[in-house]
Amino acid sequence: MNSSVQRIQHPFEPLFSDNSRILILGSFPSVRSREQNFFYGHPQNRFWKVIAALYGTEVPASVSEKKALILGHGLALWDSIASCTVTGSSDASIRDVRPNDLRIILDSSPIERIYCNGQKSFEMYARYILPKIGREAVCLPSTSPANARWSLEKLIAAWSVLKDPPSPSGYG
């Protein structure tokens, strides 16, 4: 794997449907995700284990199974960053950010809530996207293997907000 500093464009499209009510934003695809051309491709990222546990399904193996799991539960996936300078998969190395335009999803899906997978996604959302669209997002603990202090059980508990109905005041 090449870990040199590179300016990279996000290599794949968002995943959503006209039934998507919850948008989950990562920061930027890892090297493995870019190789697989799909979200959360690193085998040690716990995203797919968390989502499968929340909805009582087997952990999806193929991209088509992952898409079916997300879309079948009214979810959408995208990232806060459209392009950046990054070293390998390190969120800490991300610089020169250009944010994704979330209108592609928000204009065609009834999104009720927006969650960020980890602090970097949330920081990028708050800095670049929130001022443009005015919709608050909630930061969830990262499912990345770099977030080792969160066990799978603790992640599942924190991410269970995906299954809770929105608060009466809503998220925007």
Query: Above 80 in pLDDT, residue 95?
Result: yes
Query: Above 60 in pLDDT, residue 169?
Result: no
**End-to-end C-alpha distance for the chain, whole angstroms:** 40
Does residue 156 belong to any structural domain of this protein? yes
Does residue 47 belong to any structural domain of this protein? yes
Integer angstrom CA distances of residue 67 from 14, 91, 92, 109: 11, 24, 28, 16
In the predicted model, what is the mean pLDDT of residues 91-117? 94
The Cα 145–Cα 140 span in angstroms is 15
CATH of the domain at 55: 3.40.470.10
Does residue 170 belong to any structural domain of this protein? no
Predicted confidence band of residue 87 (pLDDT cuts 50, 70, 90): confident
Share of the chain above pLDDT 90, in %: 80
List the structure tokens of 76: 């959408």
Does residue 11 belong to any structural domain of this protein? yes
- The residue range of the domain holding 130 is 5-161
- How crowded is residue 60: how many other Cβ atoms within 10 Å of its Cβ? 17
Does residue 168 belong to any structural domain of this protein? no
Does residue 169 belong to any structural domain of this protein? no
Integer angstrom CA distances of residue 42 from 17, 30, 172: 24, 7, 32
* Counted domains in the chain: 1
Determine whether 73 is exposed, middle or buried from the number of CB atoms within 10 Å of its CB (0-12, 13-18, 19+): middle
